[in-house]
Amino acid sequence: MSTTASTTTGTLRPPLGSPMVQITGLHKEFGSLHILKGIDLTVSTGEVCVLLGPSGSGKSTLLRCVNQLETFQAGEIRVGGERVGFAEHPLPDGRLARLTEKQIAAQRARVGMVFQRFNLFPHMTALQNVMEAPIHVGKVPTAQARARATELLERVGMADRATHYPSELSGGQQQRVAIARAMAMDPELMLFDEPTSALDPELVGEVLNVIKDLARSGMTMLVVTHELGFAREVADQVVFMADGVVVEAGAPAQVIDHPSSPRLADFLNSVL
């Protein structure tokens, strides 16, 4: 991956509306626990997809499969048309060759991920956190990486804290830096796993605003969240998962305001 932030923007991306993420028949087991039981999900380029579901329904697991932090036992995931984790075609004996660590790393570099617990690198300042991947993965010259990182910190409203270590930042500030860090590799897809769940209530808004801003800029996003207001405002598609299957999917107005399954109705009541 020697593609840099500025060169890929808008050039290599599939056209708007073509599928960015295609998940078909995905099954995931942890030992004998069957967690994902045949997930089908498509996210178009430029679309914001919000994943809802009770705790333990497999939302995080699904996101982690997309970014290959977990392996899966059946099905297929494609990001930007490219098959994730395995070679495109099966071997003559029917088996699928796994990609090498290097190839997997290259695929991951095209997908940004934001975690519930921020996971900023504590031994680096905010700026260094954002510059890390472009310099060491993207091989971008330091000066250029610094300029781009400063720009991204500006965008998430953290430019004045660039030289602070994560331990000197509030949760909301850390999460905004984490978003800038994920954006630094200029991903074609962003994954958010409950980005505001670990925050004090008064800090949720500042992080959601940054994510909304990203959504409006046309970034393709898969967001796990319990923030229904956010889903209503920015989601193109809302997917409700329970017990490892997709129960309902559709436009937010339809899914959130007119749930057709009792499971979803119960869940919405409990979240509100």
Partner 1 sequence: MAHEEHADIPNRIRAKEVFHPGTLIAAIIVAVLAAMMLHGLVRNKNFQWHIVWLYLRDVKVIQGIGYTLLLTALAMILGTILALIMAIMRTASNPVLRGVSWAYIFVFRGIPVYTQLIFWGLVAVLYPVIGIGIPFGPQFVDFDTSKLIGAFAAAVIGLGLNEGAYLAEIIRSGLESVDGGQGEAAKALGMKPSLIMRRITIPQAMRVIIPPLGNETIGMLKTTSLVLAVPFTLDLQFATNAIANRIYAPIPLLIVAAFWYLVMTSVLMVGQHYLERYYGRGFTNSGSKRSKRQAAVNAAGTTTIDPALEVEQ
Ligand X SMILES: Nc1ncnc2c1ncn2[C@@H]1O[C@H](COP(=O)(O)OP(=O)(O)O)[C@@H](O)[C@H]1O
> Tokens standing for 47?
């679309």
In whole angstroms, the minimum distance from the beta carbon of 102 to partner 1 comes to 6
Q: Is 35 in the site for ligand X (CB under 6 A)?
A: yes
Q: Residue 188 or residue 248: which is nearer to ligand X going by CB?
A: 248
Q: Which partner, Mg ion, partner 1, ligand X, none, binds residue 35 by CB below 5 to 8 Å per kind?
A: ligand X
Residue from 45, 59, 174, 176 binding ligand X (CB under 6 A) = 59
Residues 64-96 as b/e (b if ≥16 CB within 10 A, e otherwise) read: bbbbbebebeebebbbbeebbbbeeeeeeeeee
Q: Which partner, Mg ion, ligand X, partner 1, none, binds residue 57 by CB below 5 to 8 Å per kind?
A: ligand X
Q: Residue 156 or residue 241: which is nearer to ligand X going by CB?
A: 241
Q: Which spans in 3-76 are helix H?
A: 5-8, 59-66
- In 3D space, the residue among 208, 230, 206, 220 whose CA is nearest the CA of residue 158 turns out to be 206
Would you give the distance in Å from CA 185 to the centre of its chain?
A: 13
Q: Which partner, ligand X, Mg ion, partner 1, none, binds residue 117 by CB below 5 to 8 Å per kind?
A: partner 1
Tell me which residues touch partner 1 (CB under 8 A).
Answer: 1, 67, 69, 101-102, 105-106, 108-113, 115, 117, 119-125, 132-133, 136-137, 160, 165-171, 173, 178, 181-182, 185
**Contact window for ligand X (CB under 6 A) among 48-56, 82-90, 133-141, 149-157:** 48-56
Q: Residue 60 or residue 128: which is nearer to Mg ion going by CB?
A: 60
d(CA 180, CA 149): 8
Q: Which partner, Mg ion, ligand X, partner 1, none, binds residue 175 by CB below 5 to 8 Å per kind?
A: none
Residue from 2, 15, 33, 101 binding ligand X (CB under 6 A) = 33
d(CA 176, CA 156): 6
Residues 202-232 as b/e (b if ≥16 CB within 10 A, e otherwise) read: ebbebbbebbeebbeeebbbbbbbbbbebbe
How many chain residues bind ligand X (CB under 6 A)?
A: 11
The alpha carbon torsion through 249, 252, 254, 255 (nearest 10 deg) reads 50
What is the total residue count of the chain?
Answer: 272
Q: Is 61 in the site for ligand X (CB under 6 A)?
A: yes
For strand 111-114 and strand 221-224, is the pairing parallel, antiparallel, or unpaired?
unpaired
Q: Which partner, ligand X, partner 1, Mg ion, none, binds residue 110 by CB below 5 to 8 Å per kind?
A: partner 1
In whole angstroms, the minimum distance from the beta carbon of 112 to ligand X comes to 18
Amino acid at 153: L
d(CA 270, CA 272): 6
Contacts of 166 (CB under 8 A, 6+ apart): 118, 120, 121, 122, 126, 129, 174, 177
**Contact window for Mg ion (CB under 5 A) among 53-61, 74-82, 126-134, 141-149:** 53-61
Residue from 22, 60, 174, 175 binding Mg ion (CB under 5 A) = 60
**Contact window for ligand X (CB under 6 A) among 57-65, 100-108, 148-156, 259-267:** 57-65
Q: Which residues bind ligand X (CB under 6 A)?
A: 30, 33, 35, 53, 55-61
